[in-house]
């Protein structure tokens, strides 16, 4: 049965409405193995959404043609060049469904009801926190890319601890390692990636692309893998690890204490990028 989020389900429903009826019914038969009968296109859509294993699996179906995804994204205000490949359109749709809500991260996670005594740091669900943080962070960062057509959000040093450290490792040709210290400098360097270099970061928030853990001292580590784009070109993949700590002097807000960004070359296989960090790897990034 489907494990899609509500945003993914709603997005898939709107996209499936663009399919011709004959393709819609054929897709329903494939997804349900002809075990479900329907009497209307709307029932067919509900059956497809209910019995698809994931949004990515559904979008990769042959009946969900590239042109349908392109048309859906255009209706949602996501511009893409007409020659964009289907795989890249799929990434854009998944990114849209996983990052269309910016504000709730700090609001919901600052609420005391978001915590309980189930973990060493009092957090009930680290994965939910990690997903919400990544949706918030990448929507905020990508909004600085003026070619993406999104309103610029409230990016700035206020989201970082004053002594934050940023490490950027690049494996595009020659290996390069850069390090930055301080909220103002780290904020400016990250914003330059999208403002000046016109990059767009698309995180993979499925299970294979996200890992979260916490320490007894209140540090939460969120690791995520994703793809990096410039306009219609996929430049490569990234893995990013964030170290988050609450600031009791600023409304108990989560702020970034460490950021480790690894950028690799072109994506080889036609699949969403997979996180390679193990838990020990994540801890060692900020303890050595």
Which of 201, 240, 196 shows the shortest CA–CA distance to 222? 240
Q: In sequence order, which residues have a C-beta less than 8 Å from that of residue 269 and are 6 or more positions away?
A: none
How far apart CA 68 and CA 249 sit, in angstroms, is 49
Q: In sequence order, which residues have a C-beta less than 8 Å from that of residue 248 and are 6 or more positions away?
A: none
Residue 242, pLDDT score: 97
Class of domain 102-285: alpha beta
Prediction pTM value: 0.63
CA distances from 5 to 24, 115, 129, 138, 172 (A): 21, 22, 15, 18, 34
How far apart CA 259 and CA 242 sit, in angstroms, is 5
Domain ranges of the chain: 6-97, 102-285
| Each residue's pLDDT expressed in tens, for the chain with a length of 288 residues | 556 888 899 999 999 999 999 999 999 999 999 999 999 999 999 999 999 989 989 999 999 999 999 999 888 877 667 777 888 788 788 878 875 444 445 554 444 333 333 344 445 578 888 988 998 898 889 888 877 666 667 899 999 999 999 999 998 777 889 999 999 999 999 999 999 998 989 888 877 899 999 888 889 999 999 888 887 788 889 999 999 999 888 888 899 999 999 998 765 545 678 889 888 888 888 765
């Amino acid at each position: 049965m489907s494990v899609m989020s509500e945003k993914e389900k709603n997005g898939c429903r709107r996209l499936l409405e663009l399919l011709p009826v004959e393709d819609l019914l054929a897709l329903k038969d494939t997804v349900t193995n002809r075990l479900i009968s329907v009497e209307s296109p709307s029932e067919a859509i509900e059956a497809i959404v209910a019995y698809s294993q994931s949004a990515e699996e559904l979008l990769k179906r042959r009946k969900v043609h590239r042109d349908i995804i392109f048309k859906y994204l255009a209706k949602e205000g996501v511009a893409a060049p007409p020659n964009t490949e289907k795989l890249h359109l799929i990434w854009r749709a998944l990114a849209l469904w996983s990052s269309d809500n910016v504000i709730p991260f700090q609001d919901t996670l600052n609420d005391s009801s978001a915590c309980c005594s189930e973990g060493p740091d009092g957090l009930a669900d680290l994965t939910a926190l990690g997903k919400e943080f990544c949706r918030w962070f990448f929507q905020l960062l990508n909004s600085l890319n003026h070619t993406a057509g999104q309103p610029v959000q409230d990016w700035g040093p206020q989201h970082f601890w004053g002594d934050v450290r940023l490490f950027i490792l690049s494996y595009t040709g020659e290996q390069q390692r850069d390090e930055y210290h301080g909220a103002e400098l780290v904020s400016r360097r990250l914003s330059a990636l999208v403002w000046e270099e016109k990059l767009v970061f698309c995180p993979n928030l499925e299970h294979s692309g996200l890992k979260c853990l916490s320490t007894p001292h209140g540090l939460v580590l969120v690791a995520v893998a994703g793809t990096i784009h410039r306009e219609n070109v996929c430049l490569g993949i990234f893995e990013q690890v964030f170290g988050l700590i609450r600031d009791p002097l600023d409304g108990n807000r989560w702020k970034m204490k460490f950021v480790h960004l690894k950028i690799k070359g072109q994506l080889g296989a036609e699949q969403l990028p997979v996180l390679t960090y193990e838990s020990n790897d994540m801890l060692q990034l900020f303890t050595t």
